Amino acid sequence: MKRRIRKLIGAVFVVIYVVVYALVAMALAQAAPVQEASGLVQGFIYAALGLFWIVPLLPLISWMEKPDKA
| CA 14 to mean position of chain CA atoms | 8
% of the chain residues with pLDDT over 90 = 63
Confidence of residue 69 (pLDDT cuts 50, 70, 90): confident
38 occurs within a structural domain: yes
User: Does the residue 70 lie in any domain?
Assistant: no
Domain that holds residue 35: 3-64
Q: Do the domain assignments include residue 41?
A: yes
Contact 25, 49 (CB under 8 A): yes
Question: Which pTM value belongs to this model?
Answer: 0.81
In a domain, 57, yes or no: yes
Mean pLDDT score, 6-21: 96
- The rounded Cα 5 to chain-centroid distance in angstroms is 21
Q: How many domains are contained in the chain? A: 1
Q: Is residue 56 part of a domain?
A: yes
Q: Identify the band that residue 58 occupies on the pLDDT scale cut at 50, 70 and 90.
A: very high
